Amino acid sequence: MHKDELLELHEQMVTIMEYFKDLEHVDSTLFEAYDELDVTPSDVHMSKSEHKHAVFVLGNALATAMSEDEFSDAGRVGKRMQELAEDAERKL
């Protein structure tokens, strides 16, 4: 995936995150790990690896927000996103 495509994906995921943040039943702390990264889609000067890591961290949070438990489809996606985020972080 090219960096511009990754930035577009990142931007779309942030839009979804904002939707979930507005819902009352979603735990507001789910997105803290992503927020702490301080990497946004508009930070084009940051490396592709940093955006990739942010996308995986955000993907994990989004999947967790959608999951009923760790064994649901979204829960399994969240677990995989967590593994990918950890791998991407080691490569930073």
Domain housing 25: 3-90
Which whole-number Å values give the CA distances from 40 to 2, 53, 58, 68, 82, in the listed order?
17, 11, 11, 28, 19
Reported as a single tens digit per residue, the pLDDT across 65-89 is: 887 656 567 778 888 888 999 999 9
What's 20's domain CATH number? 1.20.1270.110
What pLDDT sits at residue 69? 57
Q: What is the C-alpha separation between 79 and 87, in angstroms, rounded?
A: 13
Q: What is the C-alpha separation between 88 and 60, in angstroms, rounded?
A: 13
What pLDDT sits at residue 4? 95
Overall domain count for the chain: 1
Reported as a single tens digit per residue, the pLDDT across 20-61 is: 999 888 887 999 999 999 999 999 999 999 999 999 999 999
Verdict on whether the full-model pTM lies above 0.85: no
